[in-house]
Amino acid sequence: MTDSAARAVRRVRELKSTALPAGSRTGTRHPLVAVAMAVPPAVLLAVACGGWHAVVVQASSVAGLMGR
């Protein structure tokens, strides 16, 4: 049983090493980078779907829950 677990661990490590490109970094991105990536598509969807009112209502609800 221990031998199969060790083989499984080696196989997962091998798959991870081949799945990532040679120069790729593993880690977390800065929160501002994440915001910069997420906001443009969100704005595009809000404009395309006409959801500005819904966005404002949700934002004000969240702000109310946060006490601001």
| pTM of this prediction exceeds 0.85 | no
Model confidence pLDDT, tens digit, residues 23-46: 566 678 788 888 899 889 888 888
The Cα–Cα gap between 28 and 11 comes to 25
Q: Are 42 and 34 in contact (CB under 8 A)?
A: no
pLDDT attached to residue 7 = 84
Phi/psi of residue 25, nearest 5 degrees? -100, 140
pLDDT attached to residue 21 = 64
Model confidence pLDDT, tens digit, residues 11-25: 888 877 666 565 566
The one-letter amino acid at 31:
P
Q: How many H helices and E strands in the chain?
A: 3, 0
